[in-house]
Amino acid sequence: MKSIPQAQQEKFLKNIFMNKESHNIKSGTTIKNCQVCGNKDLMKIINLGDQPPCDSILEKKNQKEFKYPLNFLFCKNCFLGQIDFVVSPKKLFFKKYPYRSGITKTLVEKLYSTSEMAKKKIKITSNSLCVDIGSNDGTLLKGFKRFNFKVLGIEPTNIAKIANEDGIETIQSFFDIKTANKIYLTYGSARIVTATNVFAHVPDLSSLIEGIKIILEKKGVFISESHYLVDLIKTVQYDSIYHEHLKYYSLHSLIKLFKYYDLEVFDVEFIKNYGGSIRVYTASKGEYKIKKTVIECLKVEKNFFDNSNKKLNDFRKNIVRNKKEIIKTINQYKRKGKKVVGIGCPGRCSTFLNYCNITSKMMTYIAEQSTSLKLDKFLPGMKIPIVNEKIMFDEQPDLAIILSWHYQEEIIKILRKKGLKSKILIPLPELKIV
């Protein structure tokens, strides 16, 4: 058998090394290479302008804030969507981070589905350990607890305290090799490790994945859920592009990523969370048989991205058109002296409102549930006040723009039941008033 020439081997090894290097990005820098495969030739899709981090809610209207570039790019080599600037995680997931998964009822149900599917697919012995990375208030782990799992959360923000008070043991920390070693020594190895909507947020992927390998049992399974790139493009979800969210995965890019670490994706599912997410089951190479779903999905994805130039150009055009239509509609209402407000303040609405340049003169306030940690604060950038939704029900404004539009059906039902009579504008994928 012919062996590979020395020079070619070295080039290959250098390539792999370089690529893995791109899994560890320094914060505060502009990224030039693909965050998964290291490809230098990234396709620029859209510039969403300089924006503040979407969850850096302002305590005071005149508070000083920082803005960073927000460009969306695409790698044709591994089908990864990505932004090209990394804000330090400490600036993004600061201790007072205001996002709680447990308060959105629909999200609670969706988070429970992770444990339900895991129970169906993975053999579990009594007292198996499940570790959730970026466990927030422990909602997902509560799902596993119902099935007699031992559970452990890892959460860097103060929300860890809420989880602990609620009976879900949680370590307040970022997850990396150091934390993984501590977990292994104290709690032993885990049957299941989960990371929902975390995997796209971490700049140091190699430390995260190596850490996961440290705590996983031999037949342990890592389940990750990430916003799905194909859905993002199809339904024009540019509002889900923000600094916390560095990568927008396809199955191709996930498989490629795990390969560097001898891990293998053996199953895939598509779920409705966050407007379309991909859930992949990953284990050490060869431990599980690769399911047909993986092969089928790869085919469908390949077809979708075969004509990526046109699809991505259309994506950009749709974003620009959406901005124009939104502004035109709000201005029509305002000219007649009518009141326009926002409903719900998910992180993603910051990108939407800042990119569309919707000021507090155009949108008087954003109405949030009374349990929200964002109440009486201001949206970063546009400085729109965030108020208790009770005010909106009292005032019945002329037009209310639903900002968690990806959960529109459930939310509209609840709002109508609570007595909201206002016209409701659904901004995406196409502007619609109901």
Binding interface with Zn ion (CB under 5 A): 34, 36-37, 39, 75, 77-78, 80
Min separation Cβ 72 and Zn ion, Å? 14
Min separation Cβ 218 and Zn ion, Å? 30
Min separation Cβ 33 and Zn ion, Å? 8
What span, in angstroms and rounded, lies between the C-alpha atoms of 359 and 307?
Answer: 37
Give the pair of three-digit tokens for residue 320: 């620009």
Helices (H), 336-368: 348-355
- Cβ proximity to Zn ion, 160 vs 251, nearer residue: 251
Q: Which residue has the tokens 């053999």?
A: 123
Q: Assess contact for 412 and 434: CB atoms under 8 A.
A: yes
Helix, strand counts (H, E) of the chain: 14, 17
Min separation Cβ 36 and Zn ion, Å? 5
- Cβ proximity to Zn ion, 36 vs 268, nearer residue: 36
What span, in angstroms and rounded, lies between the C-alpha atoms of 288 and 210?
Answer: 20
Q: Assess contact for 153 and 171: CB atoms under 8 A.
A: yes
- Cβ proximity to Zn ion, 77 vs 206, nearer residue: 77
Min separation Cβ 247 and Zn ion, Å? 10
What span, in angstroms and rounded, lies between the C-alpha atoms of 230 and 241?
Answer: 14
Min separation Cβ 262 and Zn ion, Å? 19
- Cβ proximity to Zn ion, 33 vs 135, nearer residue: 33
- Cβ proximity to Zn ion, 53 vs 81, nearer residue: 81
Peptide bond into 429 cis (omega under 30): yes
Min separation Cβ 77 and Zn ion, Å? 5
- Cβ proximity to Zn ion, 21 vs 65, nearer residue: 21
Q: Which residue has the tokens 């407007």?
A: 275
Give the pair of three-digit tokens for residue 70: 């927000």
Peptide bond into 427 cis (omega under 30): no
- Cβ proximity to Zn ion, 75 vs 233, nearer residue: 75
What span, in angstroms and rounded, lies between the C-alpha atoms of 376 and 80?
Answer: 37
Q: Assess contact for 146 and 138: CB atoms under 8 A.
A: no
